[in-house]
Every structure is written in structure tokens, then in C-alpha cells.
Amino acid sequence: MSTPQLILKQRAELLAVLCGGGSAEPLDCVLDLLLAWEVLVWEDYLSIQVAEKALNYKVRQLLDVVYDKGEDACSCLLAAMNQVLPEEQKAGLCFGEECAVVGKNRPDTATLTLLADRPVLVRKLRDNIDGALNVLLTTDCFTIKDCDVVQLPVYTPSQQVRRLLDQVRFKGETAAKTLLQFLEQTETTRPNPEDKENHPSANCMLYQKKLRSSVAAQSHTLSTYGGTGHFSLDDIYTDGLLEVMDGSGETTTLGLEDVVGPVGTLNDDADTFLVSGEAGSGKSTLLQRLHLLWAREALLTNIFLLFPFSCRKLNAEHRELSLKELLFLHCCWPDRGQDEGTLMKGVMKVVTSRPQAVGPSLKRYLRKEVLLKGFSPGGIDCFVKKHHSDPAMARRVIESLQANSVLLSLCHIPVFCWIVTKCHQELLGSQDGIPQTITDVYLLVLQHFFQRKSYQPQGVLGKAWLEEHLDTVLKLGQLALESLEASCYVFSGYELQRIGLTEQDVSMGFLIYCNDLSVTDCKRYEFLHITLQCFFAAFYLVLNRNSDRSAIYRLFQPKNKQLSGLSQRCLGHCIDSSVEGVKSHVTETPNLQITAQFVSGLLSQRHHNLLQECCPTAVRERKAKQVVKSLSKGMQRHFKSIPRPVEGEKKSMHAMPSFVWLIKCIYEMQDSSIAQDTMAKLDVEHLKLTYCNIGPVECTALAYVLKYLRNPVGLQLDNNSVGDVGVEQLLPCLHICHSLYLRNNNISDEGIRKLLEKGMKCERFQKIALFNNNLTDACTQHFAWLLKSKQNFLSLRLGNNNITSQGAEQLAEGLSSNQSLQFLGLWGNKIGDRGAEALADALRNSTTLIWLSLVDNGVGSAGASALAKLISQSKTLEELWLNKNCISREGVECLIEALKMNSSVKEVWLRGNNLSPEEEEELSKQESRLTF
Ligand code: ADP
């Protein structure tokens, strides 16, 4: 086949490879060669490089020009492409027979030399543009303006060199000669690479400076405030709750500076730090803050270079990139010394993802995992105050949140907090009631954005506002859904055009320009936040009349074994596919789950009025039925997985993460009959939801659904982030809980006050475990009331809190009039002798107490002798735990005396007290029930 035919036949493929990654570099390199080989003359070049034209126009133009020139030119073009393109991109392309580019005589003018040597000159000058410009300026060949034209920051260094060469050519022979002389001189004075010291070279330091200023510029504002110009990150950044878990499951709270610090390290050999958190919990913002502080040399000062990447944006990169291209193209291009530096030596990676996205096989490679749990209650106040410069307005918003605990619980997730704060006007003036669900919150933001662009006065968005903007919503919805299905989060202008999105649609503000430093020719867009993309996708599923009938079913039961986050394409190569079952182009499950939540919310009866003009009632009802059926089926699957109880044990269910998701979908529907029907089929005595990322939002949904359980249940929520607000959200289901386990959940006295106020009235409520929360003496009076008024309460565990002797005295007051408590745990508080005496005194008359733990409480011999009196009188006590106290021989002797009169006690634990090994041996001989 002749070469023109080859070009014609492969036109689409050639176009694709030359435009593929959106970078103009491959085309520019081909043009350099064709100019050097005299295949193109200057006029051809100008007809191709038209400034305002898009890259694909330029490539087409090149193909046309060369095609018209015939066989030889076409051969040269193919040869040039063969030379420029990386091996991987040449696969499948045919470049014809090898073409010998005939060596021409050396040109006789400097201007022509610049053309003939153009490919080499681009490489040589890239590291020395400043020097060349300086010479041209001092020899009056260039003006300042010429220099500015060359150095426009939108150009990559290679593009700047080409601009410089073009400008020199335009200036004429003298300028060209000056430039060639300069190059000759720099060649002879080029430093020997062997001379390089081990410390960073001047080039590296210059690059660090440039990178710092690029990163600072990039991280200065938050994308959700983009365009408004009101806030910098400094103005609005509010610390989130950060925790790290050690190997044994103990958690520690962290500051921003500890994210890459030593606390919580699990694997010293690994170099990857993971920050995990739910969508909208502030992961990207946290990284942005780290970037900004690094750029200002305020944090991470031992990190020499820092490269910010977005995996979502990298997924949109279709070309294979070298490491150098990856770092330079996507972050910041060095002006010189591009080949220096062993960049990957001592590298450290900080990665963010959703909690379930990182499976065990990837976790092995983590140095540590930091959990980001959103805002604390104090954080919410702080955020609102930062957002509203008018303190009166901030106060009103805070008051309205405090008056409405469901909304307050939503605000623990920063992205919801941002919406609620942003839409305060709609919120404070709302006639449709206060938002209850995340769908309500996102409808609020939708109204807010449309209102902003509406010509009507503030606050007046016609009743039919959705119908008015339906076209925009559907187009955004189509873009959102199609791209979610393809795990795509960054869109080119072409994709927007394909769907028919206009400038006006874009100006509504739901889409923003991609905020990164990559050097590409085309603008790229993304949704303001991934959750907003899910919301629009949900709208499309609900409103699109042409969608296939099984779309909703598919959403609720994703078929593929799906992977998400880290393991998706961007890092997909790093994972052993046999372990994780990697499939390419699978949609991220967590995003589909969020979409499903919005679909449930939009199809709720409550939004019937809003949707009625946009979607026929019959269609809406059919879809709503499909959702209900899917939810019910999903729950059934869970219930079926409950194992038969082992004899002597309770029938218990350990919830999978998708259980919480299904519950949240049911909550979005706000239909009690659905909740009731679903729960009627659940028959367990114990429901275990430990380590399930349950925060206040999840508590609201759990209580809404669990309150319909037929039989009482033990609800185990240990190791989540329930907090005081979450506790308040759980109250509606407290009547069905016989036990509540809330170990390690950031609960304080205020949460306990509310919990016990309700608990006192719940007949079935009998056990509570609150190990490792933030409780102080201020909560003990509430427990005292509970103990006094509830004579069927069985178990109170308050270990690892901050209760002192005062708290113990208060508790004792309640205990003295209680005749039901069997278990009392106060391990790891500070009750001391006084507290132990008060408790022992109060419990002396107890006819129910079986188990008492005062481990690690600063109890000495005085306390022990008071406990001895309890032992001598008790007929029920079986175990007494007194490890890690300061009891000496004298105290133990009192205990031994008392045990002589007691037959119920089986064990008294005394490890780690003030006794010598000899004393321990001697005393244990006297009483075998003592354990040292
Ligand atoms: P994620 O990456 O976890 O999905 P983002 O960091 O994108 O969450 O947060 C979503 C939005 O929530 C941000 O654009 C910002 O408006 C708000 N936000 C998140 N974290 C903070 C923070 N620490 N301070 C102030 N606002 C925050």
C-alpha cells in the first residue's frame, strides 16, 4: 500500500494517537522533524499551528497538508511519527517501509540552521530558556514584550522554546546568529555531571521553589467555593476528627501534623499512608490543607518535593505516561534540570479512599490508616462561624441546627455542612419543613443554585422550579450517570457537547473546571463534588422516561464483583487480579450506593408534588415499587446469612456494611410502613454493628428502622463515631434495646444525660457499656437516678473514662437504693480510696451484684479494707477485679479475713499492686481465691 493510502486508511488512528492525551507535545515534535527535513515549509507550519484552534483541528490540518504533498511527504510523516510516539502507542499502526531521510547539505544561513536543527534545539534550550532570553535581550534582538510572549505560563518549557525559535526566526538573521553563538558557548561551559554533589543541586532547589508556588496557588481555594472568591482555604478550613487504630484495635486521636507521623504505624517497611473516610468527610480538603502548609513550609518540612495528584483525574488520562511525565505534566514542569534527581528514592505516599474500598490484600502495604470522621459538634459551630462573617447570621444558623437534631447530625459530614450553611436562606425561610434526609439537603442545594441564576427576587423560586429546569437536570443527569457507570469523573468539553450541555447549563455552577496544573489544550470539567454527581445520576434514573425497566433493579444489586477507590484503574495494575478479582471498567460500588440512596429519596412519597409534573405518576409509582422490592430482597439476603445460634448463645447477626446502606435507603424513603414490613422479618436477639463507620447520620436511619423490631435486641455499636448527637438520634429505638454497647464512640456527659432521661422510661433497657468515651463525674448523677428508678437494670460498664471519687460517691448514692444491678465495671477511672469506700458501702446491701471491677483506679489498702466489708456481707458477689491498684499487704490481709466468711466469691484479682513477689507467694498460700 502506498504511504498516502496508509495515511488515509489510518486517519482516525493517527488522529487519536496525536491527540490522545490532550497534550500538544507529540504533534509539536512531529512538526519539528518535518520542518527540519524540509517536508513542511514555513507557510505550511503556520497553516497548521493556528493559535485559537483545537488540537484535533491542527492534526487534521497536518494530515491534509502532508497528504496533498504526495508519496515522499507521507513517508516522512509516518517516519516522524514512528520516531516520536512511544512504543505502546504504535501498536497496531503501520508506518510503511522504513524511509531514509536524505541528509541535506548544511544550511548556509543561521535562520535555516535553526530550522534544520529544530528538534535538537528544543531539547537543548528547554533547560536554559532564561539564559537565551537574557542574551537576546541584552543584544537588543528581543524586547521585554518578546520575552513575555515566549514565557507565558500556559506553555510548557518545550512550547516556550518553540515560541522562542519562531520569534527569533521572525526577527531575522542577527537574532538567529546570536542564539546559535549563545548555544555554542553554553555547550563548552556545560558542567561535568560527575561533579554533582550529593545534596540537591541548584536546579533542584529552583524546582522546589517553583513547585511550592504552584502547589500554593493550586491549593489556595476550595473548589466548592470556586468562582465566588469569598473564601480562601485559610478562611474556611476547620479541623476534622482524625483517628488512628493500632494493631490491637485501640484508637488514638490525631492532629493534622500526625497524619504522616509515627503514631499508629502498623508496618515500618511500607511507604503508603491511607486517609479513609466516607464521601464528603473532607479527605480531599485535608490533603489540600497539607499541600498548602507544605508549600508555605509550615508543615512536612522534611519533605523535599510534594506532588499532588487526583486519581479521578488520572483516570481520564488515556496515554501511557512515564514517571517523569506523570510528575511534571500533572504537577509542575521544571524550568531546567529535568533529568536530575532520583525522585522515587525515599518517597512517601499519602492516599485517600472510602473505608470499604481498601481490601485486606492492599492493607498489607500500608504504613498506617488514618480515619477521617468529619466534624465534631464544636467543628460544626466553628465552620458555620467561619462561613458567615455576620455573627448574628452565624448564631441563627447554629440555633436552627441545634433545634433540629436530624439536621445537626447531617452536618457532621462536612459536605452536608457546607450545603446546609450555604443554603441557610432557603433553610431558614423554608415552608416545606426542615430537611430530614440527604435527598432533602441536595434538593436544597439544587434550588439554591437555580435560584441564584433566576431573575426572580430572592426566595421566590416558582413552585414548578424543577419543571422549569428539567432540561438542564436531565442533561446533567445523563452525564452523571453515564460517567459514573464508566468510573469517570472528569469530562472534556466534547463530552458536554455530546450530551447537549450548553454554556448556560454549565453556568448554573454544578460543574466546575478541573482544578489541576496539568498542561493540556482542552478545558476539563467535574461535578462540584462526587455526591452531587450521584445526585444527578439518581435524578436521571428517576425522571428519564426512556430508561430500561430494569435500571433500578440493577442499581440495587450490582452484579459484578466490584472494586472501588484505590483498586480502580489508576492503581489497578498494582493489584494481584487473582486476589481481588479485578475487572476493568467496573463502577465504584460506594458511588452506586449513594446514587441508590438518592433514588430512594427522590421516589419517596414526600417528593411526589415536586416530581408530578416531570414524571407520570404511574412511572414514578412503578419505580418506587421496584425500589421497595429491591430493599426488601436485600434485607432478606442479610437475614438469611444469620447463622443458627450456638447452644447457650444468643441468636445474633453481625451486619455487613451493605446492611447500613440498605437501612439508609429505607430511611430516605421516609415511609414507616416500609420500615415496619422489613423489620417484621428480622428475628435476632443481638445485632452487632461494630467498626461500621456509624456516625450520627447512620444513627438517625438505624433508629428509624430498628424501632419497628418485634422483639427486644442487644444493639452493639462499639468502635464507631456515634457521639452525643448520634446518641440522641438513637433514642427512638431505645425502647426495643435490652442492651446498648457504645464502647469507644466519643460520647460525653451531655449525650448520657439525654440517653438516660429516655432510658429510665424504657422498661426493657437493662444493660449499657460505655468503655472508653469522654465521661466525667458530671454523668454519674444521671446513672444514680437510673439505678434508683429502674429496679431491673442489670449491667453498668463505665471503664476508661474520667470518673473520680466524687463521681463514685454519686454513683454510690444510686447503688444504695438499687436491688437489681449484677455487673459494675469502672476499670481505668480515678476513683481512689474514697470512691472505693463509697461504692463498697453502698453495695453492702446488694442482693444481686455478681461482678465488680475497680482495676486501675488508684485504690489503696483503705479501699481494699472497705471492699473486704462488702465481701464479708455479700451472698452474691463472684468476681472482684482489683488489678493495677496500689493495695499493700495490709489491705490484702483484710480481704483474706473477709473471704473466710464468704463462700460466693470465686476469684479476687490482685495483679500489679504494691506487693513483693515473696508477699504475693505467701498471701496466695493463705487464700487460693486470690490471683496475683
Ligand atoms: P471527600 O474528599 O472526603 O469526598 P471533600 O474534601 O471533597 O470530601 O469535602 C467536601 C466539601 O466539604 C469541601 O468542598 C468543603 O466545602 C467541605 N469541607 C470538607 N472538609 C472541610 C474542612 N476541613 N474545612 C472546611 N470545609 C470542609
CB count in 10 Å sphere of residue 557: 11
Over residues 860-887, mean pLDDT? 97
Over residues 400-410, mean pLDDT? 88
What's the CA gap between 145 and 151, in Å, rounded? 10
Q: Give nearest CA residue, ligand 1 atom 9.
A: 282
What's the CA gap between 406 and 729, in Å, rounded? 7
Q: Average pLDDT, whole number, for the chain? A: 86
Predicted pLDDT of residue 564: 40
Cα(284) to ligand 1 centroid in Å equals: 7
pLDDT tens digits, 266-307: 888 888 899 999 999 999 999 999 999 999 988 888 888 888
With CA atoms as reference, report the closest residue to 890 among 907, 856, 874, 866.
866
- 179-199 core/surface letters (b: 16 or more CB in 10 A; e: else): bbebbeebeeeeeeeeeeeee
Number of the ligand 1 atom closest to the C-alpha atom of 530: 4
pLDDT of residue 783 exceeding 90: yes
Predicted pLDDT of residue 565: 40
What's the CA gap between 208 and 214, in Å, rounded? 10
For 26-30, 265-269, 667-671, 808-812, which range has the lowest pLDDT when averaged over its residues?
A: 265-269
What's the CA gap between 338 and 157, in Å, rounded? 10
For 48-57, 121-130, 238-247, 327-336, which range has the lowest pLDDT when averaged over its residues?
A: 327-336
CB count in 10 Å sphere of residue 819: 13
C-alpha cell at 547: 430508561
70 backbone φψ class: left, alpha, beta (φ>0; ψ -120 to 50): left
Collapsed DSSP state (helix, strand, coil) of residue 496: helix
Number of the ligand 1 atom closest to the C-alpha atom of 224: 14
Predicted pLDDT of residue 326: 73
Output the furthest CA–CA distance in the chain (Å, rounded). Answer: 118
Collapsed DSSP state (helix, strand, coil) of residue 254: strand
Backbone angles phi, psi at 691, to 5 degrees: 50, 45
- Res. 577 pLDDT band, cuts 50 70 90: very low
Pick from 95-109, 161-175, 300-314, 315-329 the range whose average pLDDT is largest.
Answer: 161-175
Number of the ligand 1 atom closest to the C-alpha atom of 287: 6
pLDDT tens digits, 532-571: 999 999 999 999 887 788 899 999 986 544 444 444 444 4
- Res. 521 pLDDT band, cuts 50 70 90: low
Collapsed DSSP state (helix, strand, coil) of residue 924: helix
For 121-125, 367-371, 496-500, 637-641, which range has the lowest pLDDT when averaged over its residues?
A: 637-641
Over residues 91-106, mean pLDDT? 71
Q: What angle do CA 366, 319, 208 make, to 5 degrees?
A: 60
Establish how many alpha carbons lie within 13 A of residue 892's alpha carbon, considering only the half-sphere containing its beta carbon: 30
Q: Give nearest CA residue, ligand 1 atom 5.
A: 282
Which residues contact residue 744 at a Cβ distance below 8 angstroms, ignoring those fewer than 6 apart? 251, 718, 719, 720, 771, 772, 773
With CA atoms as reference, report the closest residue to 32 among 168, 166, 142.
166
C-alpha cell at 620: 414514578
What's the whole-model pTM score? Answer: 0.74
Which residues contact residue 922 at a Cβ distance below 8 angstroms, ignoring those fewer than 6 apart? none
pLDDT of residue 572 exceeding 90: no
What's the CA gap between 489 and 526, in Å, rounded? 6
Using a pLDDT cut of 70, give the percent of the chain over it.
89
**Residue in 220, 221, 222, 512 to alter for ligand 1 test, most ligand atoms within 8 A of Cβ:** 222
Count the helix, strand and coil residues of the chain and give each as a percent rounded to the nearest 5.
Answer: 55, 10, 40
**Residue in 291, 310, 380, 418 to alter for ligand 1 test, most ligand atoms within 8 A of Cβ:** 418
Over residues 839-863, mean pLDDT? 97
Predicted pLDDT of residue 412: 93
The answer to whether residues 556 and 662 touch, using CB atoms and an 8 Å cutoff, is no
Q: 65: part of which helix (H) or strand (E)?
A: helix 55-69
What's the CA gap between 176 and 111, in Å, rounded? 5
Cα(472) to ligand 1 centroid in Å equals: 26
For 8-22, 115-129, 217-231, which range has the lowest pLDDT when averaged over its residues?
A: 217-231
**Residue in 285, 290, 510 to alter for ligand 1 test, most ligand atoms within 8 A of Cβ:** 285
Cα(445) to ligand 1 centroid in Å equals: 16
Over residues 684-706, mean pLDDT? 93
Predicted pLDDT of residue 364: 79
Over residues 627-652, mean pLDDT? 82
pLDDT of residue 853 exceeding 60: yes
Give the Å distances, CA to CA, from 427 to 393, 398, 405, 460, 774. 12, 12, 14, 13, 33
Using a pLDDT cut of 90, give the percent of the chain over it.
50
Residue scoring higher pLDDT (175 or 320): 175
Number of the ligand 1 atom closest to the C-alpha atom of 240: 23
Residue scoring higher pLDDT (851 or 423): 851
Cα(93) to ligand 1 centroid in Å equals: 45
Q: Give nearest CA residue, ligand 1 atom 12.
A: 415
Number of the ligand 1 atom closest to the C-alpha atom of 529: 7
- Res. 448 pLDDT band, cuts 50 70 90: confident
Cα(657) to ligand 1 centroid in Å equals: 23
Cα(415) to ligand 1 centroid in Å equals: 5
- Res. 585 pLDDT band, cuts 50 70 90: very low
What's the CA gap between 465 and 446, in Å, rounded? 10
Chain centroid to Cα 216, Å, comes to 21
Establish how many alpha carbons lie within 13 A of residue 282's alpha carbon, considering only the half-sphere containing its beta carbon: 29
Cα(282) to ligand 1 centroid in Å equals: 4
Integer-rounded Cα radius of gyration of the chain: 35
Cα(448) to ligand 1 centroid in Å equals: 19
Strand order in the sheet with 511-513: 491-492, 524-527, 511-513
- Cα dihedral 759→760→765→766 (10° resolution): 120
Cα(238) to ligand 1 centroid in Å equals: 9
- Res. 814 pLDDT band, cuts 50 70 90: very high
- Res. 123 pLDDT band, cuts 50 70 90: confident
Q: What angle do CA 579, 580, 581 make, to 5 degrees?
A: 100
Pick from 33-47, 368-382, 476-490, 833-847 the range whose average pLDDT is largest.
Answer: 833-847
Number of the ligand 1 atom closest to the C-alpha atom of 531: 4
Predicted pLDDT of residue 84: 86
Strand order in the sheet with 251-254: 251-254, 242-245, 366-372, 272-276, 349-353
For 354-363, 639-648, 741-750, which range has the lowest pLDDT when averaged over its residues?
A: 639-648
Predicted pLDDT of residue 579: 41
Cα(80) to ligand 1 centroid in Å equals: 47
pLDDT of residue 519 exceeding 60: no
Instruction: Find the residues whose C-beta lies inside 6 A of ligand 1.
Output: 222, 224, 236-238, 240, 277, 279-285, 383, 414-415, 418, 529-530
With CA atoms as reference, report the closest residue to 173 among 123, 108, 222.
108
Cα(414) to ligand 1 centroid in Å equals: 5
Q: DSSP characters for 775-789?
A: -BGGGHHHHHHHHHH
Over residues 501-523, mean pLDDT? 76
With CA atoms as reference, report the closest residue to 726 among 692, 756, 703.
703
Establish how many alpha carbons lie within 13 A of residue 275's alpha carbon, considering only the half-sphere containing its beta carbon: 28
The answer to whether residues 908 and 852 touch, using CB atoms and an 8 Å cutoff, is no
Predicted pLDDT of residue 173: 92
**Residue in 220, 383, 415 to alter for ligand 1 test, most ligand atoms within 8 A of Cβ:** 415
Over residues 442-458, mean pLDDT? 77
Predicted pLDDT of residue 95: 85
Cα(512) to ligand 1 centroid in Å equals: 15
